[in-house]
Each structure stands twice: as structure tokens, then as C-alpha cells.
Structure 1
């Protein structure tokens, strides 16, 4: 089962104790995947249809715990097979005058807002696998419903966004910490802990990768610098020789040629008269400047010979 499916299974098992919260969650379910109808007898009815049987089960449970089934309200359920899509659709039909309490549910209290968001996600929401990406969305068929959901989520500090996708309006979250907060709001502690564990593992992996990349970059930088130092020293040796260099520069030059992989600190300890890292760096910079001047003079000489010819 997908992560989104496990979240819905957990939400489907959670039933509010308070009647007003059950009405709020029923209002969300009927608003997202239901249809209301005024019967010829004057009573009210609604039908809920979903490809997720957990939605229909949850709707039945909420009705059963809120109303007196058989006396005040009639409920029927059915399963219809869609041969073209090779999938099943589950239907629930309920009728009764008392259902007006669902249609006009007061979603003002914090607990009722939580229940409404839970019902909305259960009915038409989905989440991506947190191991791959962070994405939470609820599909609405009207902009009005999307804006209402967005406002409810903002009441909990969830900065949800709205985007149009074909004929539907999507209310979504992309940040991992916001999705954790959304699961907390909807009372899905098991899914919340699973998501947090995935986030911790991903953060650890990312930190390790950053450290490895940083160390690799430093190693590459050190190796590149050592190669250039050796090239500069070899150029000086081939052009004018190393014997005429001051003792300190000659000592560093010969030691670098003998130990091309040594760090500056190691190089300083290998000299006849050991010095620190900054001293080694200073002498190598002097050698580099000397090599650059020799190259420049060589180019000037070459340009003069070319112009004379």
C-alpha cells in the first residue's frame, strides 16, 4: 500500500467523539465526493461515491454514530464495477430530514476545522512517497471549495497554495515540515512519525553527501595546487636551474619535487629547517611568481624574434 493509502486508512479509523465534529467531517466528505438532492417528499438525501472503500466505510460510521439509522435516516451502500477502467466504485446513499444538520454544519471550532480537513483529505486528497518528494494535495471541483480549504489550513499556520489542473482546483503543500503539521492537524500520529523518520534519514544522508562533496572539493583543490607548484618548480629548474635560488626557496623547491603529494604542513616538517604552513605557502608563492616572470620574459623574447623575422 502507498504512503498516501496508509494515511487514509489511519484517518478512516479515527472517529470524533463530539457530534459537532462528526457533522463537520461528514460535511467535508459530502462536499468533496458527494451530491445533495431534495426529494419529492420534501426530505433531504445525499449520495457519496468513491473508488476508496475506506471513504464509504467512514461515511457510514459517522452517520451511524450521529443519527438513529432506521428511524431517522435510511442508508444504502453498493459496489459497481467499471469494466472500462477495471476498477470498483463504492456508493453510499442516505436520506432523512435530519441530514440538514450535515449540510449546514457549523465549522467554527478548532476541533471541527480539524475534522473537516480530515474528511476532505480522506475524500479527495493524496500524498507522495516522502522518500522521493514532499507533496500534499486535496482536489476540489470548484474554486470556492479550494479557497475555503485554503483558509482553514491557514488558520493552522499551513501556507497552502492553489493551482488549477485541467478541470480541477488543487490545494497543495510542498514543504516537508508543513506536511508534518498537516498530519498533526488531521490527527494521523502514525503517519506523522513515519514521515518524520524518513525526513531524519534524508537529512542525515544529505549532510553526509555535503560533507563528502566538501572534502572532495578540498582534496581536488589541494591536488591542483600541488600540481601547479610542481610545474612551476620544474619550469624554473629547466630554464635557469635551482642552484641559484636562495637557500629557503631551493629547500622548498627540492622538497616539493621529492614529495609531490605532501600537504603544506607536512612539507614544512620535511625541510632542512622546518617551518610552519604559512611559511611554506609564502615560499611556494614566491616560486610561482618567479616562474610566471620567466614565462612572461620568454614570451616577450619569442615575440621579438618573430617580429625580427
Structure 2
């Protein structure tokens, strides 16, 4: 390639624009980000990639059958190339689509996060209720200390409440960590009772044998 064709940035912009008009394309940005320039000449592909990369971009080259394909796959870099070529209307369309995709992705992340937190809260509540009901069946909640009995009764009455909400309902309100501590103590008591039950069942089994 004659150096005179790309001796300054203005010429380079024109060269990239001509290369795109001659063999370039962009995929639908709604689906994926992909811009490419197709040529049958290896040296031309290398020169074009170097010119594009002189604008601090990161184009790459791949073989596709008998053709050499110079491509860029990042949305931001595609926008930069459109700007370099002076294709401002296309640039605005791509930017609008990118913005909408970002909004949708952010909404999906928030919804997924909230769903995961909700599932975690529900599963924890079910486990806590199971522990409390087991203790009630085996020895009765009245055998618990006042603080543990109060949180146990509140959990049974408000199974969907968060730890923060349970803490606010106590006669002497406490924070999430305080509620969590009491529920962990209840779980420890339930596990000890289950352990004793298994031990006694094992002893009975040995006697029967």
C-alpha cells in the first residue's frame, strides 16, 4: 500500500470508510456486536487492521474459507469505527440500541438478584419454622428462654417476615444480627434434640436385636 494513502489521520479515516463501503458489514446490534471487512488479499487485510488499530482499537484477522476477515466484536469499538468513518447516523442508532440493551440487562440483573434474595429468605424461614415446630413437639416452646421463645413465636406467626421486620416486632426491638443470633441458637437446640433422638433410636434398635 502506498504510504501516501494513509500518511495522516484524515487519509486513514477515508481509507477505512472506503474499505467498509467495498467489503464491510455490521451485524444486527440487537443480537450481537460484530463488524467486519472481507477481502481475498492477506496483505490488504493486515494493512487495514493496522490502520484501524492505529486509532487505539483492537481489530483482528481470521480466515473464512478463502477470504481474510478483519473484524471487531466490541460494541464500543464498533461505535468508535463508525465515528472514524463519519457514519454518525448509524453511530446514533447503534448507541441507542446499546443503551436499551444496557437498561434491559441492568433490570434483569436486579430482578435476578431480588429473586435470589427472596428465595434465600423463604428457604431460611422454612428451615427456622421447621426447627421451631420440632422443638415445640419434642419439649415445648415454654422450655426456651424468654428471648428465644418470643422470637420463635413471632417467626411462627410471621413466616414471610424478614429478619429486620421480626426484630422490629420484638418487645425490645433488636437489629438483624440480634434476630439472626437468636434463630441460630434455636437451630442449635433443634439439632441437639435431633441428635439425642437418633442416639435413643439407635439404642432401642440395638436392644431389639
TM-score of the alignment, normalized to the shorter chain, above 0.5 = yes
Q: Secondary structure at the match of 2:5?
A: coil
Q: In the alignment, which residue of structure 1 is the partner of 2:125?
A: 226
1:118 aligns with 2:2: no
1:241 Cα deviation after fit: 1.3
1:104 Cα deviation after fit: 8.8
Q: In the alignment, which residue of structure 2 is the partner of 1:89?
A: none
Tell me, in whole angstroms, the C-alpha distance in 1 between the residues paired with 2:84 and 2:173.
Answer: 65
| The structure with more radius of gyration | 1
Q: Of the candidates 147, 150, 157, which is equivalent to residue 251 of structure 1?
A: 150
Matches within 5 A, 1:149-298: 149-298=48-197
Q: Which whole-Å deviations, capped at 9, do the CAs of 1:67-86 have from their partners, x for residues lacking one?
A: xxxxxxxxxxxxxxxxxxxx
CA 1:292–1:110: 2 relative to 1, 3 Å: same
Q: Secondary structure at the match of 2:123?
A: helix
Tell me, in whole angstroms, the C-alpha distance in 1 between the residues paired with 2:51 and 2:173.
Answer: 70
Tell me, in whole angstroms, the C-alpha distance in 2 between the residues paired with 1:172 and 1:243.
Answer: 72
Q: In the alignment, which residue of structure 2 is the partner of 1:299?
A: 198
1:275 Cα deviation after fit: 2.9
1:148 Cα deviation after fit: 0.7
1:280 Cα deviation after fit: 1.5
Q: Secondary structure at the match of 2:36?
A: strand
Provide the TM-score with structure 1 as the length reference.
0.64
Tell me, in whole angstroms, the C-alpha distance in 2 between the residues paired with 1:142 and 1:166.
Answer: 13
Q: In the alignment, which residue of structure 2 is the partner of 1:92?
A: none
Q: Which one has a larger percent helix, Structure 1 or Structure 2?
A: 2
Q: Which whole-Å deviations, capped at 9, do the CAs of 1:219-243 have from their partners, x for residues lacking one?
A: 1111111111000001111111111
Tell me, in whole angstroms, the C-alpha distance in 1 between the residues paired with 2:178 and 2:89.
Answer: 60
Tell me, in whole angstroms, the C-alpha distance in 2 between the residues paired with 1:112 and 1:144.
Answer: 19
Q: In the alignment, which residue of structure 2 is the partner of 1:45?
A: none
Q: Which one has a larger percent strand, Structure 1 or Structure 2?
A: 1
- Where in structure 1 are there 5+ consecutive unaligned residues? 1-26, 28-102
Tell me, in whole angstroms, the C-alpha distance in 2 between the residues paired with 1:136 and 1:216.
Answer: 36
1:263 Cα deviation after fit: 1.4
Runs in 1 of length 4+ with deviation above 6 angstroms?
none
Matches within 5 A, 1:43-192: 106-192=5-91
CA 1:240–1:223: 2 relative to 1, 3 Å: same
Tell me, in whole angstroms, the C-alpha distance in 1 between the residues paired with 2:3 and 2:134.
Answer: 88
1:111 Cα deviation after fit: 1.0
